[in-house]
Each structure stands twice: as C-alpha cells, then as structure tokens.
A and B are shown apart, each in its own frame.
Chain A
Amino acid sequence: MERLRLATVWLGGCSGCHMSFLDLDEWLLELPARAELVYSPLVDTKEYPLQVDLALIEGAICNADHLELIHQIRQRTRTLVAFGDCAVTGNVTAMRNPLRRAEAVLNRAYIELADLNPQLPAQPGVLPPLLDTVLPVHAVVPVEYHLPGCPPPADRIKTLLAQLLEGRTPQLAQHQIRFG
C-alpha cells in the first residue's frame, strides 16, 4: 500500500493539539507504515513540500505569515483538516478580536498591561505583523474536514485519521463533535 504524504501544521495555537496528537502513543508507531510525515513542527522540514495528501492544521490564522502559509498549503495539499478549536473557530486566539485592530491588541499587551518598560516591539522583520482579525482556517481557504476540541482527545484524532488513511470519508460519533 502506498504511503500517504501527511503534514501537520502549527499556526496560531498553543500546540496543545499536537500534544494530543502525541497522545496517540503506540498508534504513532503504526502510523509510519501508512503515512509519511513530510512536514510538521515535530520534524525538521523548513519548506512546505509539494503534493501533500493530508494536512492537519492546528491553530487559527493570526498573522501575515500564517496567511501566506495557509494559501501555500492549500495549493499543495489534497485534503485539509482543521485540527482543533483554534483552527475550527479561532477559539482562544480569537479572543483578541473584540479589540478590532492589531495596534489595539499590541497596545493592550505591551503598554496597558505591562508592569515594566511599557513599549511596543519595534524591531522590524523579526515578528510577522498581526492581522486585525484572527480567522478560523475555513474563513480563508476551503477546508475539507473539521475536528473540534480543545484539544481534540487522542481517540478522536485516531478515529478521523484512521478513516482518512483508509481513503474513507470520515465519520465521527456525535459526542466526538464537541467544542471545548
């Protein structure tokens, strides 16, 4: 059986979904037989490769880098899964959205709430500029499947992945579609 080219991506999120992915424990040992991990924060690949079959996207679209990357990912990937609540809804990362503008967010974080040396990070080119509004992945590019949860428990990830690896349209049980 040909191995699936699998990517996992970490955008605006806490990496908790990836931690949950690692909770797949011994199933992770079976995974390489079925899939090749071609891009992930867990492996040392800098450039998102071409012709990826399946990508799990953790995190929301928060800054200019995410925006650029997600379009590249969409172009190069057959099936996208919004992986976890941040990717699906924006979740905690989107809690800054009521402030409306990136400057207001930076001001809040670095000036209003600073204990020492209130100042905005000023060195250009180091950090990607924030978007005014944090967006769930499907608000930017089409997404095939959504896997809610903060983080999605390992068994939920397994249910989805196992079916996708078999080339089936994934079905989740009702209780597995749950935010939070």
Chain B
Amino acid sequence: MAAKTLTIDGQLVSAEENQTLLEAARDAQIPIPTLCHLDGVMDVGACRMCLVEIVGTPKLLPACVTKVQEGLEVRTNSERLQRYRRLLLELLFAERNHVCAVCVSNGHCELQDLATQHGMDHVRYAYQAPNLGVDLSHRLYGLDHNRCVLCTRCVRVCWYIEGAGTLNLAGRGTGSMIITDLNQPWADSDTCTACGKCVQACPTGALFYKGATVAEMERDRQKLEYIVTAREKKQWNV
C-alpha cells in the first residue's frame, strides 16, 4: 500500500492510501471536531462539523469520508470553518431541548464540549422547544428524544456492530426521530438484545442508563472500538 503525502494546516503529513483526512489528521495530532463520527462504525458525513477546506476545491468536504490524496493542501481551522462550526452548534442547541444543567450527560457530553471548544456562549436562533417525549419502557435504558442530535451513531452501532437492527430513523427533516423496530415502545422490541452499545455510542444525554441522574452518565467509547478491532483484526488485547 502506497503512502500519500499531504499538507494539513501547513504541516506535512504522511498517510496510508485508504485513510480519510480525519484519520490522517488525528494521526498527526491535528484535531478536527466531529459529532456524528464514531470510531468503529462507518461514517455518514452528516453533522458537517468536520468540514475542511481543500485548496483548489470550491466545496468544503467532510474530513470523515474524504480520502487522502497525494499533494492535497488541507485547512482544518480557518476563520470561516470556525464560524460555520459555531453556527452549526447554535442550530443544534436551538433545535431540541439541550438543558446541560439537568442532563445526565452534563460534563461528559460531546455536544457540550464542542460548544465549549468553539466559544459558543449563547444561541442567537430561536429555540424550537419541541415536545418529543422520553421512552423509558426498556428495563435498562432510556431514550430522551429531546436531547437527540440525530447523529445516528446509535443506529449504526445497532446495525453494524451488534447486527440487531433495532434502532432506525423515522420521519424526515427536523421531525426525524430515532425509533425502535416499527416505532414501538422500546420494551416491545423483538430485536433488541439489550446489548447497550447504543448507549455507549450516544454523544449526548439522549440514551442513558436508567437510574443515572444529572452528570452521572459516563461512557466508555473504547469498548465499541475494542469490539470492532477484536472482530476485524483478531486483536483481543489492544
């Protein structure tokens, strides 16, 4: 496999042929913010947080699904990208009811962290305050749609790591909702194996262990990556 050499933020970086820009940047300790990306599952390029500029290309490209190419000149942190990322975060905070102060994930939330990283100290858009309900029917887990950012990380781990295919998306636009099976209460799902991978995958407080209260919901992301690495590379002691 041939290595590719490219420039990321002025730094020469060597990357494997099939790596994405995101992987190459992370290998070189260049941080690119992400939200819908989760190590171990396929990327969908949906949250647009990892958009980067490529010199000579008019369009912004998502680093998580864009492959490295020889000689690319990538900018990950221009003023324009920072502005866009902050706007995207404002849109997310305005879309549903993200009340950090009373959230199970307070202090362990990727959305909250992103807001901090981007200096988002207030939201200029109108809060939509939807009334979306909480599914507490499952004996172990809860799903609070009000805190969901529709990143579909839970859906992807459910389908591609666990293989259960319980979680899915229904509806469209801002009315999209994570559903279990055919939009039944979670407890009535025939397919859910109660593996809890979705809970591990959730970046916010939308999926949580029942009984967790404010700020108690910590996750072990490496577990998912460990499973995938073990399965695909037969490495059990990573």
Contacts and interface: CB of A to CB of B under 8 A. Distances in A.
B121 A180 contact: no
Instruction: Report the contact-size class of chain A (Cβ under 8 Å from the partner).
Output: 20 to 34
Interface in B76-103: 93, 97-103
A82 interface: yes
B168 to A, nearest CB: 24
B127 A91 contact: no
B131 to A, nearest CB: 4
Interface in B97-141: 97-103, 106-107, 112, 115-117, 119-124, 126-127, 129-132
Contact of A95 (B99, B122, B124): B99
Nearest to B113: A178
> How many of chain B's residues touch chain A, expressed as a range?
20 to 34
Interface string A65-96: 00000000000000000100100111110110
Contacts of A178: 100, 112, 115-116
Contacts, number: 75
Contact of A150 (B100, B131, B146): B100
A146 B122 contact: yes
B130 A177 contact: no
Contact of B115 (A82, A147, A179): A179
11 contacts: A88-B122, A89-B127, A90-B127, A92-B99, A100-B131, A136-B123, A136-B127, A139-B126, A143-B122, A178-B116, A179-B98
Interface of A: 82, 85, 88-92, 94-95, 97-100, 133, 136, 138-139, 143, 146-148, 150, 172, 174-175, 177-180
Given A95-B99, A138-B124, A179-B112, 13 more contacts: A89-B123, A92-B102, A97-B127, A97-B129, A136-B123, A139-B126, A147-B121, A150-B101, A177-B116, A177-B120, A179-B115, A180-B107, A180-B215
